[in-house]
Amino acid sequence: MATGGATATAVQQWRALLAGALESNAHLNHSSYFQLATISVNGRPANRTVVFRGFQEGSDNILINTDRRTKKVQLFCYGCTLQICWYFTESWEQFRINGRIDIIDCSTRDLAKLQQREEAWFASSLNSRLQSLRPFPRLPVLEEPCEDYQLDPSTGPVDSFCLLVFGPEQVDYVNLKTNVRFLFTSSHSSDQSTNVWKFEKVNP
């Protein structure tokens, strides 16, 4: 069993594995999509497919855009642990990433976080931004919605736009071609100021 104790080494290793998978599967449109699973307040599993929007600058946090009116955002408010499942069909690599979500929406008071939300908004395509103008999700359709939504491209994020920041706590990586598996786990340092990552090679 191989174990690495240095924070930078473990983070760099799983980030390098993920970057390699993204690069080798970049020609496949679905490689930027992954599944995000939670447990509902009634104890039932809930899963959905979301789009990878990159990493938060200066960290290993994963960025996801969504509509704050969706049911999943309500579930995230309970502070439960979530899991990403990301499979790359070309390279036969799977990442299962456990972590927690930080919700940045129009009610956020932290100016730095609001700046991140605005940057995420403008980094999205116009078609993606238009999704935030659609009728309230999951409500019955009372009349056919108007598809002629108008949005000034220079206007900042609308209230329904939400940026999710997923903070990884454990990464379970397996390569089905090479039959190799690594488990990366983070814990707080003794002074609680940083996350300390460790990893080990485990049986597939």
Q: What is the mean pLDDT of residues 132-144?
A: 76
CA distance 128 to 76: 22
**What architecture (CATH level 2) is domain 3-134+156-202?**
Roll (2.30)
Instruction: Examine the pLDDT at 38 and tell me if it is beyond 80.
Output: yes
Instruction: Examine the pLDDT at 69 and tell me if it is beyond 60.
Output: yes
Question: What percent of the chain lies above the pLDDT cut of 70?
Answer: 87
Q: Give residue 40's pLDDT.
A: 78
Residues 88-105: pLDDT tens digits? 999 999 999 999 999 999
Average pLDDT over all residues of the chain: 86
Question: What percent of the chain lies above the pLDDT cut of 90?
Answer: 59
Of 81, 84, 48, 83, whose CA–CA distance to 67 is shortest?
Answer: 48
Does an H or E element contain 48, and which? strand 45-51
Q: Give residue 169's pLDDT.
A: 93
Of residues 24 and 44, which shows the higher confidence score? 24
pTM of the entire predicted model: 0.86
Residues 6+ apart with CB under 8 A from 101: 76, 82, 164, 165, 166, 167
Of 190, 194, 128, whose CA–CA distance to 163 is shortest?
Answer: 128
Instruction: Examine the pLDDT at 143 and tell me if it is beyond 80.
Output: no
Q: How far is CA 161 from CA 35, 89, 118, in A?
A: 20, 31, 9
Q: Give residue 190's pLDDT.
A: 59
Q: What is the dihedral of CA 66, 70, 72, 76, to 10 degrees?
A: 80
